[in-house]
Amino acid sequence: MKNKYAKQALESYSDELLVALFQGRGGSADDAYGVLIQRHQPDLLRRCRARLENRVDAEEAVQETLVRVFRGLFRFRGDAAFRTWLFSIADNQCNTLHQRRSRLVMSEHVRALIELHQELQHAEPEAGDAESIEGVRRSLANLPARARDVLMLRFYGDLSLEEIADTLDIGLSAAKMRLYRAMSQFEAAFEAGDLADAA
């Protein structure tokens, strides 16, 4: 009963006071954090859902936000309001998740196009397939050699990012950047070819 009344008292505290209690690492620290999260989580979920337009992704962004908030709250100096700080972390997580999803979609699109090219270039393609194969071939041919090489390693060679980094003798982050840049260049070249064909 004592804990129940103590928690009810905490619910009347301001965010700033709850943060101070949490940072003090006293007996009420966990309850203070729980009240903070309970107070802001519904708005946090609404914000993430509006940005990502998907409840599953929004819930993932919220969970990652709460992990980061818990880890970083001891270092929070109060330069901005807690809610502002919380939402800025959530916005960053939404941006990260959106970029990750965009890369995945782009990666799957590029993979599908290149696999189609690989599977059908030695077969007797139908008319629509022949156009796609030619579009992929033309797009690959128009890429810089570095971009073409990394796409071939990833989609023809089926190498992981770690294996690409080893093959090219570059760091993992550099391999990621080179692959994502190459996929963007391929997408742009392929779309430009489609537009030229349509004209």
Range of the domain at 42: 2-99
Q: Kindly state whether residues 135 and 171 are assigned to the same domain.
A: yes
- Taking only the tens of pLDDT, the chain with its 199 residues reads 345 546 677 888 899 999 998 888 777 888 889 999 999 999 999 999 888 877 888 888 899 999 999 999 989 988 889 999 999 999 998 888 777 665 555 556 566 666 555 554 554 545 455 566 677 778 878 888 888 888 888 877 778 888 888 999 998 888 888 888 888 888 788 777 654 554 4
Residue 57 CA to residue 48 CA, distance in Å, equals 8
- 115, part of any domain: no
Select from 190, 164, 192 the least CA-distant residue to 179: 164
Q: Which of 99, 130, 146 is the last residue of a domain?
A: 99
- Cβ neighbourhood burial of 27 (10 Å; 0-12, 13-18, 19+): exposed
Return the pLDDT at 43.
Answer: 94
- 23, part of any domain: yes
Q: Kindly state whether residues 164 and 134 are assigned to the same domain.
A: yes
Q: Looking at residue 56, which CATH number applies to its domain?
A: 1.10.1740.10
Return the pLDDT at 112.
Answer: 63
Select from 115, 128, 119 the least CA-distant residue to 158: 115
| CA pseudo-torsion sign 163, 166, 169, 170 | positive
- 42, part of any domain: yes
Q: Kindly state whether residues 10 and 95 are assigned to the same domain.
A: yes
- 174, part of any domain: yes
